[in-house]
Amino acid sequence: MDSGGSGPAIKTGRTWMIHAVRQLRPCSEITIRYFWLALCAILAFVAVFNYSKAHEIQGDLAKRRLLEVSLQDLIVQSTALHHLGNPHTYETQLGLETRGYRSPQELLNQLASRLAVIETINTHSGLADSAANLREHLIAMDQQLEKFGKPDPQRIEFWLIELGIFNSTLKRNTQEADEKVNQLQRNNLILTLVVLIHSVGFVSLTLWRQSTLRKRFAVELLHLSNQACSDPLTGLLNRRGWQDMSSAYLRRMQRENQLQGSVAIIDIDYFKQYNDTYGHEAGDIRLREFAETLRTNFRPGDLIARVGGEEFAVLLPNCTADDTQRIVDRIRLNGCCKVGFSAGICDISHTDSIDRTMAQADHALYQAKNKGRNRSCLGQVSG
């Protein structure tokens, strides 16, 4: 036969399990904090990387625009070199003056100045050779001008050809640079999206996992709490559950000062002899049947508990001891109960503890037993 209350080892185990479940956390606050710090660091790194690359791109674009403008100026100025090839000096002088140059030397000096700007701005290795060739042609034309009074027409053609090569190379490099810029922008966008997607995914997964674990822990905690407060044999409240819920009702009575109620202590008559005669298994069956009888005949809001081996307690809210006695006697006499029982009944006092009320009901139970059993007696409320 079940003993009515869980043993000390079982109580200790259940208490430890409840405490352990309460201490579990799906994801600790410090883990969340470290994750957000890491996420912010990654986003900051991406932002700094994007900013530095954008700054670098802007610098390259500015240099390239300046290089293109300088090259176009050099090309326009170089068209004046055709005047140096005229056979007549006055035609050469007239052509230069219409372009704003006082002498061939001034034209070459302007070309040298513009070429120097291009060489300073240029950062592409592919254009460096072309710029060096232009410088070489310019030096040769300057020497020929000083020695012969005008540069060699073939040297002028070489200059113009090399200038065209330089212009074509610059355009090709510009297209490649634009493609690199576009590729860098795509890479930055992809990197940002990857970080964002992973961050959102991790946060969503973490929140989902926390929610799932919290729900599972809540169910487990409720299950453990119910096990800790329930009698495993009958499914009724055990002594611990009775103490918690009856004390809560008494506190409510004291707070509102309007509620009333009563307690009945019920003990099956001669159960020990029945258990010794028919065995523990038969005794357990009889206890379950009696618990079901109480559950069926009392109201749904009444507290019913198994507080001992064959002893049960019932708290009836808003019900006087006289009303409770009539209910108990009806259960005892209407033939629905297969065993006889004795009961002690007492009103709940606003000033007494639930233990004091149960002691008075228990005293009334002993009176019922002393009077021959299979009856109920009312206890007296103190004070």
Give the tens place of pLDDT for each residue, 19-43.
554 454 545 556 766 777 777 777 7
What is the 3-state secondary structure of 199-259?
HHHHHHHHHHHHHHHHHHHHHHHHHHHHHHHECCCCCCECHHHHHHHHHHHHHHHHHHCCC
98: phi then psi, degrees, rounded to nearest 5: -65, -25
What burial class does residue 212 get, using C-beta atoms within 10 Å of its C-beta: 0-12 exposed, 13-18 middle, 19+ buried?
exposed
DSSP lists the bridge partners of residue 261 as 317
Q: In the predicted model, what is the mean pLDDT of residues 144-161?
A: 77
**Where is pLDDT greater, at 276 or 91?**
276
Q: Annotate 88-126 with three-state secondary structure.
A: CHHHHHHHHHHCCCCCHHHHHHHHHHHHHHHHHHCCCHH
Q: How many residues make up the chain in this entry? A: 383
| Domain ranges within the chain, ordered by starting residue | 32-196, 239-378
SS3 358: helix
Ranked by mean pLDDT, the top range of 110-124, 175-189, 286-300 is 286-300
Q: Distance between CA atoms of 243 and 49, rounded to whole angstroms? A: 66
Distance CA 195, CA 203 (A): 12
* pLDDT for res 221: 65
The predicted pLDDT at position 28 comes to: 59
Percentage of the chain exceeding pLDDT 90: 25
- Please name every residue paired with 287 in a beta bridge, in sequence order, or none if there are none: none
pLDDT confidence band for 72 (50 / 70 / 90): confident
Question: Average pLDDT in the 215-236 region?
Answer: 76
Tell me what pLDDT residue 24 has: 46
Average pLDDT score over residue span 132-153: 77
Helix 8-23, helix 153-229: angle, nearest 10:
160
Compute the C-alpha angle 161/163/165, nearest 5°.
Answer: 70
Span 60-67, average pLDDT: 75
Per-residue confidence (pLDDT) for residue 283, from 0 to 100: 92
Q: What is the pLDDT of residue 5?
A: 47
Q: Is the pLDDT of residue 6 over 90?
A: no
pLDDT of 18 strictly over 60: no
Write down the pLDDT at residue 253. Answer: 80
- pLDDT grade for 273, boundaries at 50, 70 and 90: very high
Mean pLDDT of 281-290: 93
Predicted local confidence at residue 111, as pLDDT: 77
**% residues pLDDT > 70 (the chain):** 78
The pLDDT of residue 19 is: 55
* Fold of the 239-378 domain: Alpha-Beta Plaits (3.30.70)
More confident of the two residues 33 and 248: 248
Tokens matching residue 24 = 């579990």
Average pLDDT, the chain: 78
Digit-coded pLDDT (tens) for 331-382: 988 877 788 999 999 998 877 788 888 999 999 999 999 999 999 999 876 5
- Is it the case that residue 113 has pLDDT exceeding 60? yes
3-class SS of residue 187 = helix
DSSP state of 279: -
> pTM for this one?
0.48
